């Protein structure tokens, strides 16, 4: 995808909700989140997920806890909070409407 301003902004805006969505099923640690996002191409480099996670923590959308790991150092696990679930639901609704509207116009434009 071209990395012009608009698309970059869209990616940035949607990224936190993608992270929240990945956490709805179960708690994950950073590596797993990075893996989950890899296919979307939305994470420019692995390190950039940490400011995002820090932001989510500050906003109370995720919680973290350290857990021991058998094959390595302890890992910080991220868990979505009730607040985070609410935010994700709100985004889903917005996104559905947005996607439909944009698709409709793009479709129309193509047939004119």
Partner 1 sequence: MSAPHADQIVNGYLARLEQALADMPNARRTELLEDVRAHIAQARAGLTDETDADILNVLDRIGEPADIATEARERLGVRPRPPSRIGLLEIGALVLTPFLWPVGIILLWTSSAWNTRDNLIGTLVPPGGYMGLGVLAFLPLIAVRTSSGVCGSPGFGYCPAIPSPPAWVGLLVALLFVAYLVLPLLTAVYLGFRLRRANARPTVPA
Residues that bind partner 1 (CB under 8 A): 12, 30-31, 44-48, 50-55, 58, 71-73, 75-76
Report in angstroms how near the CB of residue 73 gets to partner 1 at its nearest. 5
Nearer to partner 1, 40 or 48 (CB): 48
User: What are the b/e assignments for 11-49, b being 16+ CB within 10 Å?
Assistant: beeebbbbbbbbbeeeebbbebbbebbeeeebbeeeeeb
Nearer to partner 1, 72 or 109 (CB): 72
Of 2 and 72, which CB lies nearer to partner 1 in the complex structure?
72
Q: How far is the CB of 89 from partner 1 (least distance, A)?
A: 22
The tokens for 49 are: 């997920």
CA distances, 49 to each of 19, 38, 99 (Å): 9, 11, 25
User: Nearest distance from residue 110's CB to partner 1, in Å?
Assistant: 34
């Amino acid at each position: 995808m071209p990395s012009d301003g608009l698309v970059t902004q869209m990616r940035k805006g949607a990224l936190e909700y993608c992270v929240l969505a990945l956490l709805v099923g179960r708690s994950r640690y950073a590596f797993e989140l990075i893996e989950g996002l890899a296919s979307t191409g939305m994470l420019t480099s692995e390190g950039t997920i940490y400011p995002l996670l820090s932001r989510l923590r500050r906003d109370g959308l995720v919680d973290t806890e350290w857990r021991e790991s058998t094959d390595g150092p302890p890992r910080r696990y991220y868990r979505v909070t009730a607040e985070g679930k609410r935010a994700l639901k709100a985004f889903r609704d917005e996104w559905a409407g947005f996607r439909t509207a944009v698709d409709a116009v793009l479709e129309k434009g193509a047939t004119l």
